[in-house]
Structure 1
Amino acid sequence: MPPADPGRGARKPAIRLAEPGDLAAIQAIVERAYTPYIARMGRKPGPMLDDYGGLIAAGRVNVATIEGVAAGFIVLVPEGRTLLLDNVAIDPGHRGTGLGRRLLSFAEETARAKGCSRIRLYTHQTMTENVALYTRLGYRETHRASERGFARIFMAKDLA
């Protein structure tokens, strides 16, 4: 059976602060979402190395569930008047359903609620599909740099 499709009339995802009990599901999403990039990058992507237990404990992770099952998540880190969108990951079974865009909209809603005027993010240079999506959603490239051994593209979006 295909996954629920929030963009085409199916139940909308519920987005909530992640809890310690979500850790296994989040780690599984990370593995499924980022493993395909290993061959392209020649190493594990940065999100596969993160401490999700610590991020959950710090209140940085929001999980999107569809019919009670984790389908994606987003990691948001306040930085004064800027919100860092540190990671957004969608379980591959839910790609193309609008869930990623919904989580990115959630980031904007969260930023505004926290009084932030800007969201910044970064992605690996080989993740060209991410750059294309972020550009379509109004993010602009600010610079490129190597960080922790990763060739990254940094992008930002000013919020109105």
Structure 2
Amino acid sequence: MIRPANATDLTAIRACAQRAYGRYVAAIGRPLAPMAADFAALIEAGQVRVYVAAGGEVVGFIVFYPSADHMLLESVAVQPEVAGQGIGKALIRHCEDAARRQGLCAVHLYTNEKMTDNLAIYPQLGYREVGRREEDGFRRVFFEKSLG
């Protein structure tokens, strides 16, 4: 089940971010931006959704919000032990559906160029690469998906 995050989810979201993104720290050379995100503020702003497993535990999350004429998918993470079960795809689909409901024409996202799994997955989900550049000291790859 996917639902809006609330303050009681904060610890689980932080732990998920640390575990999901932590495996890339050695390759990238420093902690990734989502590992230091202010999730309390993001939850308060209504920008976080969580994926809750049948047992009630939070096993994934997504952060997104409208930006001009598109939805910006800021981050998505899934606990490593349940990766590959479609949870990340369901969260991304949820973001796309929210964008459609709000009348937005696209979803934009970025990932680190060292996160090669993402570079392969996003095109399979209909996203096209639209650029690469350095931001905040990270080499980022930008994608977008038209919803029209």
Alignment TM class, shorter chain as reference: over 0.9
Shift of 1:107: 1.0
Aligned position for 1:5: none
Shift of 1:81: 1.8
1:63 partner SS: strand
- What does the per-residue CA deviation read over 1:32-82, in whole Å, with 9 as the maximum and x for residues that have no partner? 111110011011011112111110011000001012110100001111320
Out of 127, 130, 138, which is 2:115 matched to? 127
Aligned position for 2:39: 52
1:25 partner SS: helix
1:116 partner SS: coil
Aligned position for 2:52: 65
Out of 103, 117, 136, which is 2:105 matched to? 117
Shift of 1:93: 1.3
Cα separation, 2, equivalents of 1:80 and 1:34: 28
Moved over 6 A (4+): none
Cα separation, 1, equivalents of 2:132 and 2:36: 21
Aligned residues: 147
Amino acid across the alignment from 1:64: Y
Out of 84, 104, 107, which is 1:96 matched to? 84
| C-alpha RMSD of matched pairs (Å) | 0.7
Cα separation, 2, equivalents of 1:140 and 1:73: 23
Q: Which runs of 5+ in 2 are unaligned?
A: none
Cα separation, 1, equivalents of 2:68 and 2:82: 33
Cα separation, 2, equivalents of 1:104 and 1:25: 19
Tell me, yes or no, if structure 1 residue 156 matches structure 2 residue 126. Answer: no
Q: Which runs of 5+ in 1 are unaligned?
A: 1-13
Identity across the alignment (%): 44
Tell me, yes or no, if structure 1 residue 147 matches structure 2 residue 138. Answer: no
Cα separation, 1, equivalents of 2:65 and 2:97: 14
Cα separation, 2, equivalents of 1:109 and 1:35: 29
Amino acid across the alignment from 2:130: T
What TM-score results when the alignment is normalised by the length of structure 1? Answer: 0.90
